Amino acid sequence: MSGAASLGVMKAKLKGAETGHSLLKRKSEALTKRFREITRRIDEAKRKMGRVMQIASLSLAEVTYAAGGNIGYQIQESAKSARFRIRTKQENVSGVLLPTFEVYIAEGSNDFAMTGLGKGGQQVQRQCHVANKKQRDTTALDEELKKKTDQNREAAGSEQPPAEPADLLKSVEDEDVIF
């Protein structure tokens, strides 16, 4: 092989290596961006759920006091099927399939209509209301994060600065349960 041919082969190899390196670098950046987005969403969800869990714990204590003892058995016997469900999907990020989860609440009858009928019925119904609010807040948080993610993707595609993330802790859309 002559020197010119060898030089041409080396240039082609160098060009291929540079192209491969740039592709891997973009893939790494896309995955890192997605990881940071997921981490931010988890942090926001933890902060919001902290307050909701405080209210739920207080409500559970009231139900236990009013119903007089262990109400867990009654609740387990009353529940027939799960209402809070998750759908799984896959999202392609630079050739890597990442699982995504979508939360939904299955419509159905109220399994707890007769729970606490003997004593503590109002507190049991209040606890059910608080638990349903917790599920709604989780679902609303997930939907809000999806909207913001879509807005950020659209903004990134149109060369505009991304929108500021919503402060979901300050927004109150429905009434809080106060005891």
Query: What span, in angstroms and rounded, lies between the C-alpha atoms of 121 and 124?
Result: 5
* Domain presence at residue 135: yes
- The number of domains in the chain is 1
* Domain presence at residue 170: no
* Domain presence at residue 84: yes
* Domain presence at residue 56: yes
Under 8 Å CB-to-CB from 34, ≥6 apart: which residues?
Answer: 93, 98
Categorize the per-residue pLDDT at 170 as very low, low, confident or very high, splitting at 50, 70 and 90: very low
* Domain presence at residue 104: yes
pLDDT digits (tens, 9 = 90+) for 66-89: 777 777 777 777 777 777 788 889
Residue range of the domain that includes 76:
41-157
* Domain presence at residue 120: yes
Distance, C-alpha 44 to centroid of its chain:
9
* Domain presence at residue 22: no
- Quickly list H helices, 68-164: 72-78, 121-157
Of 171, 26, 144, 154, which Cα lies nearest the Cα of 96? 26
Helix (H) or strand (E) holding 60: helix 3-67
* Domain presence at residue 35: no
pLDDT digits (tens, 9 = 90+) for 96-109: 888 888 888 777 65
